[in-house]
Amino acid sequence: MPFQLPSFAHRVFRYRSTRITSEGLQFLIFALAIGIAAINTGNNLFYLLLAMMLSLILISGIAAEYCLRRLEVRRHIPDLLFLNSPVTIVLAVKNRKSRLPSFSLALCDVGEGQAVFPQVDIHALPPGVSRLLSYQLIPTRRGRLHLSGVRLSTEFPFGLFTKRAFYPMDDVVVVCPELRPVSERLLQGLFAAGYEQAVHRRGHGSELYNLRLYQAGDDSRSIHWLTTARTSQLTIRETEAEEQRRAIIHLSTSVPASHDTMFERAVSLAASLVQHLARHGYSIQLRVGSERSSFGQGDAHGLELLRMLALCQRSDPTAESMQQDEWPDGHAEIEGGGTVVAVQAWCGAGACELPRVLIDGELIPGAAYAT
């Protein structure tokens, strides 16, 4: 069984650190000078002044430790974040001490690799009281965001030292690609390609889809009065949706390292397309490199696809990866049909300024984001 330090030692040696402030440095220089003067002269009143300064340092350490002790910290963070979109993260801190307040607390989330997030301050936290604090975070990288804990620091009581305490609290959230409006030209291309692919389903439209008995909550304007009169039962008329479209979004991941930025733009474009198509009722399948999702629609499916895009990785182009990454040639190859939208960050030897979009194999020029 590995040796474990007692809790207090663990707390002191692992999760505590102290840094000196500029005022503290000046204070220490003065203390050192007075110490030298005391030794040099043997003057006990110099020793008294030195003792005063040392006692203030000692009191600093003790008071700061009490300030950081027995605090309970909780973090509330959304499940999904979007690149470059501000999000509010809430930290709840409670002083679990029975008598002593905590003063001048500064809290900040600590991410992977000791990256530090914006700091929030509490002037005073009385005993038994909790406070909610929030800060705005703008994710700058797609993928998993790892928050390892919350760091509390205080300069209380004299501002000579900054004492820090680390409260481990692991949280991993997914940062989805940035969502931006899709260009009009691309939307037109999608509309043109998907017009012939309607399938029968219930929805808003004019054609009759079905008749059924009335249920609580149904719109009274949909009552089919003729049938109701004939059967003496309230009957509802269901209509057929105007259109039902399927789309496959294919994102090529075989991109050389030199096109990393372009790949990120392509991912962002694919995510924007997913969001747009999902909102418009498309049944979407996402193919990212060799991975592929099932067809689906709705918010949950859309979020699943966004999560897939958030975690996808660029790979250096090889013959095998290129073969796996080859996009299907037209909706005829797809079982059940559908529009194939291919998003490419790299088009071979040629250099492109923006990701290329091909709808059913046809290049849509200038199809990226709305300006």
Partner 1 sequence: MPLSQALHLTSMLLASASFIGLTLGAGLPEWLAVLTGATLIAVLLRNMGLTSVDHITTQMPVSSIGWNLIVLGGFVGFWIDLLWVSGELLPAGLHFLMILMIIKLFNLRLRRDYLHLYAISLVAMLASGSLTTELWFFPIFAVYLVAGVWTLLLFQLTKTAEASGDAWMPAPARLRQESYQGNDRISPRIFWMANGLAFGAFLFTVAIFFTIPRVNAGIYQKGFGENIRTTGFSDKVNLGAIGSIKHDPSVVMRVELLGTPRQAARPLYIRGVSFDRYDGKVWTNQLSYRRSFIEESPGTFGFRGKRGVVRSDSGDAIRQKILLEPLDTPVLFAAPFIERVTGAFPSLFFDPAGAVYLPFPSSSRIEYTVVSRSNTLASADLGTGPGHYPDWVVRHYLQLPGQSHRINALAGDLTQGRHTPYEQAAAIQTYLTQNYRYSLDAPLAAQDQPLEEFLFVRKTGYCEHYATAMVIMLRTVGIPARLVTGFLATEWNDYGSYYVVRQQDAHAWVEVYLPHSGWMSMDPTPAEDNRGSGGKVWQVFGPIMDNIRLQWNRLFVQYSAADQLAVVRELKAEGMSVRNKALDTVTALFGTFLAVMGGIVTHDVSQIRIGLLGEIVGFVLAGFAVLFWLGWGRLREGWSLWKTDDGSELAITQLYRRMRTYLSGQGFSRSAAIAPLELVEITRTGWREAHTAVAAITELYCRTRFGHRPLTQEDVRHAEDQLRRLLELRKPRV
**Between 26 and 318, CB nearer to partner 1:** 26
Helix, strand, coil content of the chain in percent (nearest 5) = 35, 35, 30
Q: Which is closer to partner 1, CB of 70 or CB of 279? A: 70
**What distance in Å separates the CA atoms of residue 41 and residue 109, rounded to the nearest whole number?**
50
How many helices (H) and strands (E) would you count in the chain?
Answer: 8, 17
The residue (of 31 and 311) whose beta carbon lies closer to partner 1 is: 31
69 vs 185, beta carbon nearer partner 1: 69
Q: In whole angstroms, how close is the CB of 96 to partner 1 at the nearest point?
A: 7
Helix ranges, the chain (H) = 7-14, 22-41, 44-68, 184-194, 225-231, 260-279, 299-311, 319-324
Instruction: Write down the residue that tokens 């060799």 correspond to.
Output: 290
- C-beta separation of 93 from 131 below 8 A: yes
Smallest distance, Å, CB 41 to partner 1? 5
Cβ proximity to partner 1: between 101 and 143 the closer is: 101
Residue closer to partner 1 by CB (options 143, 159) is 159
Which two tokens mark 363? 């290049």
- A 10 A CB-CB count for 32 gives 12
CB of 238 to partner 1, least distance (A): 22
At closest approach, how far in Å is the CB of 166 from partner 1? Answer: 18
> Which residue from 276, 272, 250, 274 is spatially nearest to 345, judged by alpha carbons?
250
Judged by the rule CB under 8 A, the positions of this chain that interact with partner 1 are 6-8, 23, 26, 30, 34, 37, 39-52, 54-56, 58-59, 62-63, 70, 72, 94, 96, 98, 101, 103-104, 121, 123-124, 126, 128-130, 155-160, 216
Q: Are strands 283-288 and 246-251 parallel, antiparallel or unpaired?
A: parallel
Task: In angstroms, give the least distance from the CB of 38 to partner 1.
Answer: 8
Rg of the chain over all Cα atoms, to the nearest angstrom: 32
CB of 371 to partner 1, least distance (A): 36
| CB of 119 or CB of 210, closer to partner 1 | 119
CB of 35 to partner 1, least distance (A): 9
The two three-digit tokens of residue 226, written as one number = 């003729």
The total of other beta-carbon atoms located within 10 Å of residue 268's CB is: 24
